[in-house]
Structure 1
Amino acid sequence: MSVEGTTARARFTGPQGCLLAGSFLITLGSFAVLPYMSVLLHQRLGLGLGAVGTVLAVASLIQFAGGAVAGPVAGRIGLRRAMLLALALRTAGFAAFVPGTTSAVLAVGALLLVSAGAALYLPANKAYLVGGAPVSQRPRLLSASGSAFNAGMALGPPAAAPFVMGSPGVLFSCVTVLFALVGAGHALLPREASYRDEEAPAVPACRVPDAPRPGPSPFVVTVSSVYAFMFFQHYLALYAVPRTSAVFYGAVLTGYASLLVVAQPLLAERVAALSYPAAVRWGFGAMAAGTAAIGAGGHVGIAAGAALLCLGEIVLFLKNDLEALARSTAAPASVFGRQRLAAGIGAFASGLVGGHLYGAAEAAGSARGFWAAVCVQCLLLPVLPLFRRRTVRDPEGSRTDTA
């Protein structure tokens, strides 16, 4: 293998580089606002906690499950146009937040509009990124995309913190301008051929379309992965801030996102090389260990738990997307849209279950019981998918296909 060939593969094309830069800016703007929505809705606009939880659950469902329509939309109008439409929705949503800082109705409507734009954008973004690239480059491209998004997640909240409560109108105005500029940049991307399911590559003669493959279903594992992960995402603040400080919690979030940015590209090839059942065991095992460490409490336990959950996210989320692409003959945008639907189901279920579970733990006088319950679920969740792997085999008991 020549040095020139290796260097060529290590570089990104111009459109890929622009898309990755845009992904960073989009997440930077989004996470300058979205992590503080519960505070804005409850403390500034006066919504009750029950109403806030319902609004956030519905917004999460739209943001994730709405990805199911992203594939058909991208197939109809093309990936670039789908991204432009999504960015237009999100720009309009953030613009509506400016007067919405004094109106709960406008704020909720703006949040749902932003969520709808997010549902449409990400499947088209990932499909455009991997479009035309060899299968061997998918781990590198998807891990780089994850790093770009997580870099924005790391920098968005601390950048917005001084303005959230004091000058939210200024914050939303700046985010609106940022999204408008990113949308203008996307308009300069080269136009790609529309991805349609009927235009997907022909299936090899040795493979039957939509035939069951041995091993856990990527859709089911994605539902379970996001379900488990969102307990950490939604409830760490309630647990960590009273026991440490808001500054420490912010540092944990920043460190978490920074670790994702650095570690995900470094581990991408190793994650891709894992068998899917092994990746499921490693990923959920890391999440179980992480939630157990958080439950132990203290600065060290919370920080170590966050690092372990970061490892679980790297393994499960990347491998789920790679496995879904490898198994499907559909267009990439449709595959990523179904993965977003699975993520939406998991996030919605986690939001509904988590509130009751955390409330029960606090009523019992021990919030640590919440993390113990999540740990047990992380140990049990892989059982059903892996049991399916053992039962779906050919007559000789060997795999009919490889991941």
Structure 2
Amino acid sequence: MLTPSLRRAGTALAAGTALAVALTSCGGTTKNDVKADDASAASAGTADPDAPTKRGLTVGFLPKQVNNPYFTAADKGGEKALAELGSRYKEVGPNSATDTSAQVSYVNTLTQQQVDAIAVSAQDPGALCTALKQAMRGGIKVVTYDSDTGPGCRNAFVSQARAEDLGRTEVQLLARQIGYKGKIAILSAAQTATNQNTWIGYMKDELKDPRYRDIELVKIAYGNDDAQQSFQQTQGLLQEHPDLKGIISPTTVGIKAAAQYLSGSKYKGRVELTGLGTPNDLRRYVKNGTVDAFELWDPARLGDLAARTAVALASGRITGRQGETFEAGGRTYTLGENGVIDLGRPTVFDAKNIDRFHF
């Protein structure tokens, strides 16, 4: 999963080839990637937090790519939430995750059909902006999820994870696995990948905590989100540091390649591996003991929250302004700067729960 344009964990969060299309480098936009252009333009009106939840609404879901396991899981979460809320789910979208013009066309079609809200994962933030603004001028509420557009081109963005949470929790997870002692390395994507470098920055900061005083980060390697290069980089790390205790790979391509190498080497069971990955990619490695636990966001929860946010907007309970709150699925969410809503901390996958997830 997991560059940020969710790009997009969990990024080449690429459950094989299909998910790589959806989440290159654990891509998707995260909260820290959002820029503040004319954010106030999308949040006109006054919210009434006590307004009743409207029923019978139609919410159009527009993923980057239909029939992609990641977006199928996310959108089914949205469909289930809308059924619970008494509203109608409608999915449209391109067969290719790079067909930007098709996404624009689908936005225009949903606008013409006068749906009540649109939930979209943007392929090209700039290209979609004009069409989304036109939808909003027609009274349609717009929510982005997984991959954002400009704040002025939608009412709210449901962020799959905060960059800080992703960076810090990966260190916390690996530290527990190695008993807070030993040499570790990071296997990243491209050296210039903004989201990867942001997460690594938080990893380094987390490692400054005294509880990690016996952990040494010896190297950051770059596999460029290429399976063969990532495999070779893992091999090189262990040749250079045969006493390595653990590896963090915050990219689905990297963690899968590292797991493949470790699984067939003498280091299986001796070197811990964690990072951002998908259950479908890593299931076999969890079951054969190569990987103890890894993390990513749960796309079904992401779609669920996107749907509930769309209904809250269409009901007038929120407008997209910072500080507004609303109830969704038994939890209270607060809109942050530029209308960003955090899904929460990433989901940890291990042998106990991995068979419940299929993306």
Same fold per TM (> 0.5)? no
TM-score range, shorter chain: under 0.3
Structure ranking higher in strand proportion = 2
Taking structure 1 as the reference length, the TM-score comes to 0.24
Instruction: Tell me the TM-score normalised to structure 2 length.
Output: 0.26
| Greater fraction of residues in helix | 1
